[in-house]
Amino acid sequence: MADNLINTQFLPLILVGVFTLTLILHLVFYRVFYWRLGRYRHHPAEQNPQGVSVVICAHNEYHHLKESLPLILEQDYPDYEVLVVDYSSDDDTRYLLADLEEKFPHLKTISIKEELNFFSGKKFPLSIGIKSARHDLVLLTNPECKPASKDWVRLMQSAFTPKIEVVVGYGPYLRSPGLLNKLIRFDTAHIAIQYLSYALAGVPYMGVGRNLSYRKQVFYKNNGFISHYRIHSGDDNLFVNRVASKSNTAIMVDPGSHTLSDPKETLGSWITQKKKHLAASHLYRFNHKFLLGLYSFNLVLFYGLFILLLSLNWSVIPVAGIFIIRLVFQYIVFARCLKQLNERDLVPFLLFFEILLLLFNAATWISNVFYKPTRWK
């Protein structure tokens, strides 16, 4: 009888208490991390423009390079070079590069005709490109990425100071009709909100190869990709996870500094891409995995308790009140962050996509336990 009394009277109160704690933890994350991006303003320091080496690795990327490379070569910047590492391509990439080299003297190409498996994925050709760079500042992007403006190089370079060694940028996907496009763009923006906010809070943990810059010396000082050379992915996020710190990392989110690319057009191809990106996250530093895992676990617990409390037919008012409080703060903070990233059209889908991606990421993580991609392309 006493046990039944506890179950009926006190269990819902305990669950509401835990539910309240999940709300508090969410508010802490919003205030300590995400709000930093929402209110961020970049103030470039007065300095002479530094030389920049743009490095791109390409494997059978003729069609992408034909569209993106002229935009990269026509940047409004006084001192930069573009290095394209053509890695074992058997399409018309070499002819395109030869033609562009005649028109743009600051374009340099490196051709690797044999597939050398010193590293997994694109780490070997990328290492060759970085080591061949003439300037200390190396700016990385992918063949499919187009600069959002002619100021891309200038803006990314402007975030560097004598103490800054790593600058993480944003590489959004182009807008097109359809729910899948919005879902992919929201997922990309949400990931960016996390890594950019954490960097501003002094806990940088990743960057994306679509738009990432660092000093050549930091690459040498940390032995390049040696510490994770066996991993297929990680030439961007794992490298930043190893070398970035509170004192040597900055961000750049000006819309003119973005690099734009076409998202996957089918759910299956996007799933494959997601699996590759998530495959390296288990190698992050412990404190990064703890913070990211804590947020994800708290999110699962929040929605799980919300559903459970409603199913117990307990008082709806406190449960709904807690849910609404979180939702209001979430929309305020994320709306500011999405505005920073020029993704304001995604704000109305925030709640729906958050739940959908929570389920999707869990399934993808479980799938990666049994299957790991092993090829770059």
Q: DSSP per residue over 131-175, as a string?
A: HH-SSSEEEE--TT-EESSTTHHHHHHHT--TT--EEE---PBPP
Domain extent at residue 302: 15-39+287-370
Examine the domain organization and report whether 88 and 105 are in the same domain: yes
Q: What is the mean pLDDT of the chain?
A: 89
What pTM, to 2 d.p., does this model score?
Answer: 0.90
Examine the domain organization and report whether 181 and 233 are in the same domain: yes
Examine the domain organization and report whether 170 and 195 are in the same domain: yes
Examine the domain organization and report whether 242 and 268 are in the same domain: yes
Mean pLDDT of 320-343: 96
Helices (H), the chain: 2-9, 11-29, 35-38, 62-73, 93-103, 123-132, 152-158, 179-200, 216-221, 237-243, 267-278, 286-311, 316-340, 350-370
Among 231, 248, 280, where does a domain finish? 280
Examine the domain organization and report whether 191 and 265 are in the same domain: yes
Examine the domain organization and report whether 235 and 298 are in the same domain: no
Q: Are 357 and 186 in contact (CB under 8 A)?
A: yes
Examine the domain organization and report whether 67 and 121 are in the same domain: yes
Mean pLDDT of 343-352: 95
In Å, the largest CA–CA distance within the chain is 89
Examine the domain organization and report whether 66 and 33 are in the same domain: no
Domain count, the chain: 2
| pLDDT > 70? residue 1 | no
Examine the domain organization and report whether 197 and 96 are in the same domain: yes
d(CA 321, CA 86): 57
Examine the domain organization and report whether 71 and 200 are in the same domain: yes
Examine the domain organization and report whether 65 and 151 are in the same domain: yes
| pLDDT > 80? residue 232 | no
DSSP β-bridge partners for residue 80: 52
> In this structure, is residue 9 part of a structural domain?
no
Among 280, 295, 324, where does a domain finish? 280
Digit-coded pLDDT (tens) for 269-320: 888 877 777 767 788 999 999 999 999 999 999 999 999 999 887 778 999 9
> In this structure, is residue 5 part of a structural domain?
no
Among 280, 302, 336, where does a domain finish? 280
> In this structure, is residue 376 part of a structural domain?
no
Q: What is the residue type of 274? A: K
pLDDT band at 175 (very low <50, low <70, confident <90, very high): very high
